[in-house]
Amino acid sequence: MIELRRIEKTYRRGAEDVRALRGIDLTIDKKELIAITGPSGAGKTTLLHILGCLDQPTNGEIFIDGVEVTNLPEAELVKLRRDKIGFVFQQFYLIPGLSVFDNIALPLLFSKKPANPDRIAKLADMVGLKHRLDHVPSQLSGGEMQRTAIARGLVNAPEILLADEPTGNLDSENSEMIFEILRSLSNEGLTVAMITHNPDLAIRAKRAVHIKDGLVHSER
Amino acid sequence: MSGYLKLAVKNLLRHSTRSALTMLGIAASVGVLFSVLSFNRGFNEGLAQELERTGLHFMVVPSGCAHEVASLVLHGAVIPKFLDISVMQNLEETSGIAMATPILVAQVPNPGKERIDLIYGLDMQAISSIKPNWQIEGNIPKEENEILLGHEIAEHEGLKPGDVFMETSDGTQLIVAGIVGLTGSQDDAFVYLPIGTAQLLLDQPDAATAIGVKVKDPERMSEITDTLTAAVPGIQIVTMSQVMNSISNLAASARALSLAIVLIAVLISAVGVMNSILMSVFERSQEIGMMRAVGASRRDIFRIILEETTILSLAGGLFGIFIATLASKLIEAFVRAVMPFVPSGSLISFDPLLAIGSIFFIMAIGLCVGLYPACKASKINPVEAIKG
């Protein structure tokens, strides 16, 4: 599904060059639920952004479904993100004035697809928010916001969902709920890669990759 | 509502106070712009109409400043110069003249009231030609001792038709025959007398400050004015189109200045829009990063921001024109108070084309100032934005 070969990423921070990734080889198969763990600053988020075609590696190659996507022009990357990739962030990033329905439907605006109400309702139902479709984010709990963000990540029917510490801002009960949603999505055939600091969740993922100093340190 | 539009509106509503204030800035500048433009149109139309309704083709005046003459013709400025009696005779002998009516404007001390009256002597039979817009309460004077009063002076003195205005030095009582309805111009402050009475009052028999002339055939006008200028020394002939030009020129300089100020106001409000949108772009950079991550292209982001500025400009423009239309009476009263000559009738009329033009103008400006924030927003690097 996704194959990373000797991925390196160096970026400038002030006067110094930071080597965030130093040669990562990683293959993520279809339907996998993979947990990416590691200390702060290890390069997890950079890795996720490269997996999601949001960032380009300094060196190395990326293949999605066997097609090389390294150094594709921006317009092609936008298309890839729209069609194949869903993103979920730690801070949710919902748009305050928009209802749950409109927040979920937001990516459809950019992929120029109509927002089919039944489909949105189905997604909301899948994350347990069917009764909240008319609410705005300020009326939601943290867990509900993150579930809205997951539904938003799924609305374009992606092949892989990338989640950057999706439970980082949530209590254990809500974290559990989010993890269960991601796990069932993976069981239904979606590939899910999730960065987490929560060892309990990482253990329960089918596979866990530990990143340290920009390298795959260990794998289970 | 299209998705982009909805998103743009919601974004603006998030900071409703800021958006409202920015929009008010635009509304104020567009409102004034629209008023000034409407006023210019109304003024020129009113002036042309007023002069057209005057049945006179040209005025004969003592040679002097054309602007003075212009103001004399339209509202009776006082020029301490009189035309020679021979001019009137000369005019009567010139062929092609349908009517020549003398006008005498002067200041006369009123010893009984300890003030100076502005008097305007004219042939009462020619009044409908010289002052076609007047609404007269009472009668047009028929006797030599009957007069008309301007609205203001009548109100000030509390006089009605039939009352005695004053007694002249030889004991003649001047009776108010009629009162001129409010014109909103300097006409309101004058006392109108039959020309003979005015000449007696001034002790200047046969004197006139100007002679209004109507020709039989307007096509022959330049021929007649040339003959007159050659035949009579010390006179100047001012045609109505020259009068119109003089006043238009005076008004044009005031207009150019006001327009320049308004355009600067528009510019300032446009910079306000740019500032407001730019601020909101910076505040939302993480959100913009998220949108890029979930599939928005740079163009999508550009479009959202540009739509926000367009909505702000459009709303401001519409609101400004609405307010300007509501306030047009107030503006008109103000203009009448400060302008030297203002034609009667409504100065500001709602012109839909002008309104649409003003809105397009502000939207074009809005688009221009929106380009920079939109460009800035579209260049936000999603990776850096999301990292915060």
Report pLDDT for B68: 62
Look at A31-35, B111-115, B254-258 and tell me which has the smallest mean pLDDT. Answer: B111-115
Interface test with B, best of A54, A146, A164 (most B CBs within 10 A): A54
B187, pLDDT greater than 70: yes
Measure the CA–CA gap between A34 and B89, rounded to whole angstroms: 114
Q: pLDDT-based confidence at B49, cuts 50/70/90? A: confident
- Candidates B39, B66, B114, B6; CA nearest to B331 is B39
B180, pLDDT greater than 60: yes
Report pLDDT for B219: 80
Determine what percent of chain B is predicted with pLDDT higher than 70: 89
Measure the CA–CA gap between B321 and B27, rounded to whole angstroms: 7
Q: Which residue of A has its CA nearest to B13?
A: A97
Q: Is B18 on the interface with A (CB under 8 A)?
A: no
B205, pLDDT greater than 60: yes
Report pLDDT for B254: 79
Rounded to the nearest 10 degrees, what angle do helices B298-326 and B352-378 cross at?
Answer: 150
Record: contact B4-A109, CB cut-off 8 A: yes
CA dihedral A135, A141, A146, A149 (to 10 degrees): 10
Q: Which amino acid is at A6?
A: R
Of B14, B286, B297, the CB nearest to A93: B286
B56, pLDDT greater than 80: no
List the structure tokens of B126: 């020619």
Q: Residues B344-351: what's their mean pLDDT? A: 70
Look at B6-20, B196-210, B327-341, B351-365 and tell me which has the smallest mean pLDDT. Answer: B327-341
Measure the CA–CA gap between B386 and B374, rounded to whole angstroms: 19
Q: Is B123 on the interface with A (CB under 8 A)?
A: no
Determine what percent of chain B is predicted with pLDDT higher than 90: 28
Beta strands in B129-286 (DSSP E): 136-138, 146-149, 164-167, 173-180, 190-194, 210-215, 235-239
What's phi and psi for A46, nearest 5 deg?
Answer: -60, -40
Interface test with B, best of A50, A78, A103, A160 (most B CBs within 10 A): A78
CB B32 within 8 Å of CB B262: yes
- As a whole number, the mean pLDDT across chain B is 83
Distance between the two ends of chain B, CA-based, in angstroms? 32
Q: Parallel, antiparallel, or unpaired for β A59-64 and A2-13?
A: antiparallel
Question: In whole angstroms, how large is the CA radius of gyration of chain A?
Answer: 17
Interface test with B, best of A87, A100, A108, A152 (most B CBs within 10 A): A87
Measure the CA–CA gap between B62 and B57, rounded to whole angstroms: 17
Pick B346 or A40 by higher pLDDT: A40
B113-161 pLDDT, tens digit per residue, is 777 888 888 888 888 777 777 888 888 888 888 898 888 888 888 888 8
Report pLDDT for A6: 93
Report pLDDT for B310: 93
| Burial class for B52, CB neighbours closer than 10 Å (0-12, 13-18, 19+) | exposed
What's the CA angle centered on B381, arms A44 and B8, to 5 degrees? 120
- Candidates A106, A45, A24, A35; CA nearest to B292 is A106
A74 CB neighbours in chain B (<8 A) are 297-298
Record: contact B383-A111, CB cut-off 8 A: no
Q: Give B299 to chain A, closest Cα distance, Å.
A: 10
B284, pLDDT greater than 60: yes
CB atoms within 10 A of CB A12: 8
B298-342 pLDDT, tens digit per residue, is 999 999 999 999 999 999 999 999 999 888 888 777 777 766 566
Q: Is A43 on the interface with B (CB under 8 A)?
A: no
b/e string for B199-216 if b means 16 or more Cβ within 10 A? bbbbebebbbbbbbbbbe
B57-107 pLDDT, tens digit per residue, is 888 887 766 556 555 555 555 555 677 767 777 787 777 888 888 888 888
What's phi and psi for B162, nearest 5 deg?
Answer: 100, -20
Pick B24 or B236 by higher pLDDT: B24
Count of CB pairs separated by less than 8 Å, A with B: 74
Q: Residues B216-229: what's their mean pLDDT? A: 82
Q: Residues B360-382: what's their mean pLDDT? A: 94
CB atoms within 10 A of CB B348: 24
Q: Which residue of B has its CA nearest to A76?
A: B297
Record: contact B293-A55, CB cut-off 8 A: no
Measure the CA–CA gap between A152 and A103, rounded to whole angstroms: 7
Measure the CA–CA gap between B326 and B350, rounded to whole angstroms: 10
| Burial class for A130, CB neighbours closer than 10 Å (0-12, 13-18, 19+) | middle
Q: Give A148 to chain B, closest Cα distance, Å.
A: 14
Q: Which amino acid is at A211?
A: I
Pick A50 or B135 by higher pLDDT: A50
Q: pLDDT-based confidence at B54, cuts 50/70/90? A: low
Record: contact B294-A115, CB cut-off 8 A: no
Residues with Cβ within 8 Å of B170's Cβ and at least 6 positions away in sequence, in order, are none
Query: For the whole model, what pTM was predicted?
Result: 0.75
Report pLDDT for A161: 94
In which element (H, E) is residue A60 found? Answer: strand A59-64
B168, pLDDT greater than 90: no
Domain ranges of chain B: 3-49+247-387, 64-233
Residues with Cβ within 8 Å of B232's Cβ and at least 6 positions away in sequence, in order, are B60, B86, B87, B90
Measure the CA–CA gap between B381 and A211, rounded to whole angstroms: 25
Pick B126 or A147 by higher pLDDT: A147
Record: contact B290-A115, CB cut-off 8 A: no
Which residues sit opposite B106 in a β-bridge? B119
Report pLDDT for B39: 77
Record: contact A110-B294, CB cut-off 8 A: yes
Q: Give A40 to chain B, closest Cα distance, Å.
A: 13
- As a whole number, the mean pLDDT across chain A is 92
ipTM of the complex: 0.92
